[in-house]
Copies of this chain bind each other. A is one copy, B any other.
Amino acid sequence: MKPIILTGDRPTGPLHLGHYVGSLQNRVKLQADYQQFVIIADAQALTDYYDNPNLVRTNVEQVALDYLAVGLDPAQSTFFIQSQIPELYELTFYFMNLVTVARLERNPTIKDEIRQKNMKDSIPAGFFCYPVSQAADILAFKADLVPVGEDQNPMIEQTNEIAKRFNYLYKTECLKEVKSLIGSVGRLPGIDGKTKMSKSLGNAIYLGDSANDIKKKVNLMYTDPNHLKVEDPGTVEGHVVFSFLDIFDTNQTEVEELKAHYRRGGLGDGVLKKRLIDILENMIAPMRQRREQFQKDPAYVQEVLRNGTARAREVAAKTLSEVKSAMGIVY
């Protein structure tokens, strides 16, 4: 049996290069060697977009299109819609008895998000408890590995605490502890040079962007503000075009030469941007084509989601049944 991976996204917007570098690329590589479940976490997205369910609803299909566009293969990776698997709600309910309010308050991810979103006294209970729901997602599929960024380690810890507590309390081994699979590729900055590419910061290049969008966005990229004339020596650190070339340019020897040239002066940003535009366009063009092709066939996309969800539901139902047996609440 291949080891099981659980991964996925909250459908709150189309996916961008940050997602590609941070996870999608990796998923495409991993899908042959792992049994990969890819959750489109709409119910989780609703814990803070509850006042805009339409945004979430629309993006479920957009995210599925992005998956197909980057080359996730439904025959190898099981995509599914979280809200369509009622077993996950039930597991969440039982697991909520095993986590204290104080423990949730200490969750660093939740703390950060509450600060970022300025929630203070208006934290929805659903949002507050989402680490438990996330644990239910992971444990339902008996995942061996969850690919995460370093800042998501608290999620893995919470999940394993629940698994251990459940197994101990109900004298079972039905829940499996999970390991994190920390990606080797770093974070992609936004085009404005902000640390993170993100939809809400408005600094993203989307997988569905047109050739023209890509050109415009690369031309807007933050470079060296003190590099006024071509002949001036320039700074490479924080230069977003170079950050992108570091990641996407397959000829790293030439990138190093370009950096040296830029540093000593005589190399303009225009040349670098042109190079990056070509690289990104070559990478994104086939995705865009596949995306357009699948977009013309919504019935197929829906079938992929329906089949994936049915397959995922079987697995979750089996785990729930084991969980209920262990608790002895079978009627």
Contacts and interface: CB of A to CB of B under 8 A. Distances in A.
B124 A331 contact: no
A201 interface: no
B86 A90 contact: yes
A96 B129 contact: yes
A299 B327 CA distance: 23
User: How many copies, total?
Assistant: 2
Contacts of A129: 96, 125, 129
Contact of A101 (B81, B87, B128): B128
A305 B331 CA distance: 10
Interface residues of A, number: 48
Contact of A50 (B87, B97, B125, B127): B97
Nearest to A47: B97
A121 interface: yes
Interface string A242-271: 000000000000000000000000000000
A132 interface: yes
A102 interface: yes
B100 A121 contact: yes
User: Which of A84, A94, A101, A169 is packed against the most chain B CB atoms within 10 Å?
Assistant: A101
Interface of A: 42-43, 46-47, 50-51, 53-54, 56-57, 60, 81, 83-84, 86-87, 89-90, 92-94, 96-104, 121-129, 132-133, 169-170, 305, 327-329, 331
Given A47-B96, A97-B125, 11 more contacts: A46-B329, A50-B94, A50-B97, A50-B169, A57-B328, A57-B329, A60-B331, A84-B331, A86-B87, A100-B124, A129-B129
